[in-house]
């Protein structure tokens, strides 16, 4: 292990050539160049070696300048060597060509170290300082890469490579710089694509494609993340425009693509809701147009509108409803007794409750003095004649139907304003006031199901509901008159009940039966003998058989508000079916049996009254309409 130094007398420059092995010993010692202890050979040895070199390029003929050669520990090892040539001016010192550090102080420091090592290769402190400086330059190059200062990073790495091509960290820094260059190129391509309108197409030449490539390489790229956000927003904006132009298929396809742009689906979900709202609004318009065409008998126009509704997609239930209605309109062309009809709101996707057509006729209203259980207020019996038919609710208004009304109007019922209502208490077997109970609750005060009959509603609440129906449908909805209700309840018969004069032979209504048992094991004190309908409290609407006019629950389940004011008798009562109303009256009529009514209270002629703001667990209502 030795070093040989050849000096020259030329003053122009020196050429320093260094050969380094990949010896693990040298790497562990310095991590950079780890020069060995150098010992100068005597002039005799140097003279004997004149003209010979282990470096082939040193033997070139016509060499313009003599060189100073410094050999390091390990020159004699042989394999796996690299060599570095540094031209070091004797006085000033500079790197080859244009290879310079951007920082002049660092440049001067490096030149000074190289000059010093060219003349004093055994200077360990200079070697350590050079090693420290190269490590610092690698760090600075990485910082320049982090700051996207590509030229600064490259020039720094070029200098390091000239001094020591095997400097630890140089290759990884160069790889980072190369990737940064590729990233910047893709970002530039993405910006150009956005400006040119190639946001998401074509697949391999769009802004989406280039931003995705950048993030695959560098997930932390803020510009690429912001770029994908801009891509998604652009796609969403185009989708909404498609929807506004009634091109819903294109809108939905574009939004589906937009879900793949970014993991965050929030913007897309909001856009989907916006597109759905536009689509629903269009469906409501078409629905109203179809209904209007049916009402005026223009069935061809209704069919064309249904075709447009089908083209929207996703409206199967609505189309089927309208198709059924159109077929019924084509078959009947008008109303007939027992026909069930349903009106649609003019500007909303809302249906009125179904009604049954009751045609013109007459009957004896009230009861005879000899009727068992009769009250004085049920007479005198008189004939009422209906010169025109009317519609009356097929069922009692349900909680679900009333909820639609509240949801569309924000209406607050009397019970809600009062903060309480009257419920059935199973422990005492009596009715009792309970806080927080309203139309959304059962007879016990629990939350009601949508198909339960709405109770805890006052006459004022029922009147508000039918007024809303009339306004929304453009049809003459109202509460039934008292004479209409009894006519419909009797179903063309004159018996005490619509099913006869005693206990029903089958289960036909929700009324008090001898076989009914409450949760607290109670029985009715007065009830229909041998009868039981298995309900203690209101049953879901339409749970039992209809009466002869096709009406459900009209003789039981819940009592029902009618339009009339209360009068103690029928003296001077209207004879053509109209409501008997006195301005400012403070009592209104309740008709029909209910779940707890005794046999006498279930009779077709039985009447009750209450103030218009009264509400409890027994009373609901059904609608009526003029034809």
Q: What is the pLDDT of residues 451-498, one digit of tens each?
A: 999 999 999 999 999 999 999 999 999 999 999 999 999 999 999 999
The predicted pLDDT at position 330 comes to: 64
Instruction: Tell whether the model's pLDDT for residue 6 goes beyond 70.
Output: no
The pair of structure tokens assigned to 511 is 């009324």
Angle at 574 between CA 569 and CA 576, to 5 degrees: 140
Name which of 591, 619, 597 is nearest 454 in CA terms. Answer: 619
Kindly report which listed range (85-89, 203-207, 270-274) carries the lowest average pLDDT score.
Answer: 85-89
- Selected residue with higher pLDDT from 316 and 178: 316
Residue 98: pLDDT band by 50, 70, 90 thresholds? low
Residue 334: pLDDT band by 50, 70, 90 thresholds? low
The predicted pLDDT at position 4 comes to: 31
d(CA 89, CA 93): 4
Work out the mean pLDDT of the chain and round it to a whole number.
Answer: 82
Instruction: Tell whether the model's pLDDT for residue 56 goes beyond 80.
Output: no
The predicted pLDDT at position 465 comes to: 98
Long-range contact list for 126-129, CB < 8 A, 24+ apart? 127/30, 127/32, 127/33, 127/34, 127/35, 128/30
Instruction: Tell whether the model's pLDDT for residue 246 goes beyond 90.
Output: no
The predicted pLDDT at position 484 comes to: 98
Residue 69: pLDDT band by 50, 70, 90 thresholds? very low
Instruction: Tell whether the model's pLDDT for residue 76 goes beyond 80.
Output: no
The predicted pLDDT at position 271 comes to: 92
Q: Each residue of 157-213: pLDDT tens digit?
A: 888 888 888 889 888 888 787 777 777 888 888 899 999 999 999 988 999 999 988
d(CA 119, CA 69): 10
Of the chain, the percentage scoring pLDDT greater than 90 comes to 53
Mean pLDDT in residue range 430-435 = 96
| Residue 135 CB contacts under 8 Å (≥ 6 apart), including other chains | 31, 32, 168, 169
Instruction: Tell whether the model's pLDDT for residue 437 goes beyond 90.
Output: yes
Question: Among 6-15, 111-120, 292-301, 474-483, which range has the highest average pLDDT?
Answer: 474-483
| Global pTM exceeds 0.85 | no
The pair of structure tokens assigned to 547 is 């009466």
The predicted pLDDT at position 321 comes to: 86
d(CA 5, CA 585): 128
Distances in Å between the Cα of 291 and the Cα atoms of 299, 318, 340, 475 are: 10, 12, 16, 13
- Selected residue with higher pLDDT from 520 and 325: 520
Instruction: Tell whether the model's pLDDT for residue 504 goes beyond 80.
Output: yes
Q: Each residue of 365-378: pLDDT tens digit?
A: 999 999 999 999 99
Mean pLDDT in residue range 94-116 = 77
Range(s) within the chain of domains with CATH label 3.90.1580.10: 361-397+452-626
Instruction: Tell whether the model's pLDDT for residue 219 goes beyond 70.
Output: yes
Instruction: Return the axis-axis angle of helices 124-146 and 104-119, rounded to nearest 10°.
Output: 150
Sheet order of strands, 13-21 included: 68-69, 13-21, 81-89
Residue 106: pLDDT band by 50, 70, 90 thresholds? confident
Backbone φ, ψ for residue 46 (5° rounding):
-65, -40
The predicted pLDDT at position 572 comes to: 95
The predicted pLDDT at position 147 comes to: 83
The predicted pLDDT at position 404 comes to: 97
Of the chain, the percentage scoring pLDDT greater than 70 comes to 83
The predicted pLDDT at position 64 comes to: 36
d(CA 191, CA 210): 9
The predicted pLDDT at position 67 comes to: 34
d(CA 344, CA 357): 17
| Residue 383 CB contacts under 8 Å (≥ 6 apart), including other chains | 362, 363, 364, 365, 575
The predicted pLDDT at position 50 comes to: 34
The predicted pLDDT at position 9 comes to: 27
Residue 530: pLDDT band by 50, 70, 90 thresholds? very high
Pair type for strands 81-89 and 361-365: unpaired
Gyration radius from the chain CA atoms: 49
The CATH code of the domain at 361-397+452-626 is 3.90.1580.10
Residue 87: pLDDT band by 50, 70, 90 thresholds? very low
Sheet order of strands, 559-565 included: 607-610, 588-591, 559-565, 619-620
Kindly report which listed range (75-84, 259-268, 502-511) carries the lowest average pLDDT score.
Answer: 75-84
- Selected residue with higher pLDDT from 573 and 111: 573
Residue 40: pLDDT band by 50, 70, 90 thresholds? very low
Kindly report which listed range (139-143, 152-156, 410-414) carries the lowest average pLDDT score.
Answer: 152-156
């Amino acid at each position: 292990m030795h070093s040989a130094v050849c000096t020259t007398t030329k003053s122009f420059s020196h050429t320093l050539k260094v050969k380094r092995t990949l010896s693990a010993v040298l790497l562990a010692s310095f991590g950079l160049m780890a020069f060995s202890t150098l010992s100068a050979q005597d002039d005799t040895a140097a003279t004997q070696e004149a003209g010979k070199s282990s470096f082939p390029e040193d033997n070139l003929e016509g060499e313009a300048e003599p060189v100073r050669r410094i050999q390091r520990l390990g020159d004699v090892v042989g394999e796996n060597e690299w060599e570095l040539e540094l031209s070091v001016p004797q006085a000033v010192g500079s790197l080859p060509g244009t290879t310079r550090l951007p920082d002049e102080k660092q440049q001067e420091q490096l030149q000074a170290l190289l000059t010093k090592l060219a003349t004093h290769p055994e200077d360990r402190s200079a070697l350590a300082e050079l090693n420290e400086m190269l490590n610092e330059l690698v760090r600075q190059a990485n910082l320049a890469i982090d700051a996207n200062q590509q030229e600064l990073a490259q020039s720094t790495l070029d200098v390091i490579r000239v001094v020591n091509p095997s400097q630890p960290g140089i290759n990884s820094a160069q790889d980072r710089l190369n990737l940064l260059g590729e990233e910047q190129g893709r970002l530039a391509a993405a910006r150009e694509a956005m400006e040119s309108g190639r946001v998401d197409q074509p697949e391999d030449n769009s802004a989406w494609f280039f931003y995705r490539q950048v993030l695959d390489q560098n997930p932390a790229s803020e510009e690429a993340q912001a770029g994908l956000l801009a891509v998604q927003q652009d796609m969403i904006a185009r989708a909404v425009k498609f929807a506004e132009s009634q091109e819903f298929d294109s809108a939905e396809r574009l939004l589906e693509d937009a879900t793949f742009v970014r993991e965050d689906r929030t913007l897309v979900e909001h856009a989907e809701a916006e597109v759905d709202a536009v689509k629903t609004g269009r469906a409501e318009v078409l629905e109203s147009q179809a209904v209007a065409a049916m009402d005026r008998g223009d069935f061809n126009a209704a069919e064309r509108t249904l075709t447009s509704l089908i083209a929207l997609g996703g409206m199967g239930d609505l189309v089927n409803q309208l198709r059924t209605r159109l077929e019924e309109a084509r078959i009947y062309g008008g109303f007939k007794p027992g026909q069930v009809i349903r009106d649609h709101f003019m500007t909303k996707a809302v249906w009125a409750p179904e009604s049954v057509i009751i045609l013109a006729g007459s009957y004896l209203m009230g009861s005879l003095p000899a009727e068992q259980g009769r009250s004085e207020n049920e007479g005198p019996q008189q004939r009422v004649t209906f010169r025109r038919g009317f519609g009356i609710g097929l069922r009692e208004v349900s909680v679900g139907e009333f909820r639609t009304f509240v949801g569309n109007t924000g209406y607050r019922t009397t019970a809600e304003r009062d903060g309480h209502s009257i419920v059935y208490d199973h422990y005492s077997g009596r009715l009792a006031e309970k806080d927080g109970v309203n139309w959304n609750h059962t007879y016990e005060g629990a939350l009601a199901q949508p198909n339960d009959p709405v109770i805890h509603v006052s006459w004022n609440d029922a009147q508000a509901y039918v007024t809303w129906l009339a306004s929304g449908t453009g049809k003459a909805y109202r509460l039934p008159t008292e004479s209409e209700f009894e006519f419909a309840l009797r179903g063309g018969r004159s018996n005490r009940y619509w099913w006869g004069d005693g206990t029903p032979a089958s289960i036909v209504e929700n009324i008090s039966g001898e076989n009914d048992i409450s949760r607290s094991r109670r029985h009715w004190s007065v009830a229909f003998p041998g009868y039981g309908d298995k309900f203690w409290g209101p049953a879901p609407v339409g749970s039992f058989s209809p009466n002869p006019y096709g009406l459900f629950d009209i003789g039981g389940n819940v009592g029902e508000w009618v339009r009339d004011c209360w009068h103690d008798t029928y003296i001077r009562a209207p004879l053509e079916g109209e409501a008997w109303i006195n301005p400012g009256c403070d009592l209104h009529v309740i008709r029909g049996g209910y779940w707890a009514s005794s046999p006498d209270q279930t009779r077709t002629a039985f009447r009750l009254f209450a103030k218009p703001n009264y509400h409890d667990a027994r009373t609901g209502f059904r609608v009526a309409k003029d034809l």
